[in-house]
Structure 1
Amino acid sequence: MSAWDFPDPFTQTVRVLGTHIDVLAHANNAVYVNWCQDVAWAHSEHLGVAPSAYRELDRAMAVRTATYEYLDAALEGEELEIGTWITASDARLQMRRHFQMRRVRDAATVFRGDWELVCIRISSGKPVRMPRLFLDRYEPAVRR
């Protein structure tokens, strides 16, 4: 049985569907990346920073580097619990987000991922300091 990597994860549960399965008879690697994106957006909204705020502020936390570790296969019909945390922030330009996916039936960790994020001005794609809303909402959520 695997414990969570950090305390108090924001979680969502997904079921591996037939459409997620690849030629190797397990969930395709790209599907895990999509699940990471989905849970990251849900967590951000939970913290009070919806995609509409990104557009209104012309700011976004964009993925600069992504690292994924596929530890075990997820098979059709299995449920996975996805946990995510913001694990670092310099309160200026950069944040780090961690992901962990556990199979519900045995709590085994099947996947881990990390994103290094940088705040950008959406209209130019250039790095820019985090706006006050990001600091107010994301900083209290950092788990070290």
Structure 2
Amino acid sequence: MSAKASPKSFAIPIKILPDDIDFMGHVNNSRYLNWVQDVVLQHWQKLAPAEEVASKAWVAIKHEITYRRPAFLDDDVIAETVLERIKGARSFYNTVIRRGEEVLAEVRSAWCCIDSKTHRPARIDQDVAERCFGIPRKP
């Protein structure tokens, strides 16, 4: 992969359920974080090699969310994420939740990769970061 590689985005459709709706008639804000977790974990499972998926797990360590517009029961919504950078065992994602072209929420999040058996922090191999996720090698 060339030095011009850019991170690969990944998107999933969101199914809004009646239980997602709060007393104000729109999706409760806590559901957005579930959607972020869903898209980040599916991104890892889809792009990482099977042995990496089997040997590693993820723990959220920080979410910063900006809500732009509410979502409603019958909306067609997608969550799109990109792994922007990796530093040690930490990975930094940017996720955008959309209804068509409308941005409903933007979420910057930090995740810690852990070894599935020991539950200790585990680094992502640079080759995996570059080959699977489009994170360019550091100079």
Q: Identify the TM-score tier after normalising by the shorter chain.
A: 0.7 to 0.9
Aligned position for 2:108: 114
Assess, with a 3 A threshold, how the Cα gap between structure 1 residues 44 and 129 changes in structure 2: closer, same or farther: closer
C-alpha deviations, 1:34-89, integer Å up to 9, x for none? 11111112211210356x845x42x3332211111111100110011211000111
Q: 5 Å matches for 1:123-142?
A: 123-130=117-124, 132=125, 135-140=126-131, 141-142=133-134
Assess, with a 3 A threshold, how the Cα gap between structure 1 residues 121 and 67 changes in structure 2: closer, same or farther: same
CA contact (8 A) 1:86 1:95 kept: yes
Aligned position for 2:19: 19
Q: Report the secondary structure of 2:45's partner residue.
A: helix
Show structure 2 runs of 5+ residues with no match: 1-5
Taking structure 1 as the reference length, the TM-score comes to 0.74
One-letter amino acid matched to 2:86:
S
CA contact (8 A) 1:82 1:99 kept: yes
Taking structure 2 as the reference length, the TM-score comes to 0.77
Show structure 1 runs of 5+ residues with no match: 1-5
CA distance in 2, matches of 1:7, 1:88: 8
CA contact (8 A) 2:7 2:83 kept: no
Aligned position for 1:37: 37
Q: CA deviation at 1:33?
A: 1.1
User: Does residue 95 of the first structure (1) align with residue 91 of the second (2)?
Assistant: yes
Assess, with a 3 A threshold, how the Cα gap between structure 1 residues 11 and 122 changes in structure 2: closer, same or farther: same
Cα RMSD of the aligned pairs, angstroms, is: 2.6
Identity of aligned residues (%): 22
CA contact (8 A) 1:85 1:142 kept: no
C-alpha deviations, 1:112-136, integer Å up to 9, x for none? 1111122333445433433x4xx43
Q: Report the secondary structure of 1:74's partner residue.
A: coil
Aligned position for 1:85: 82
Aligned position for 2:69: 72
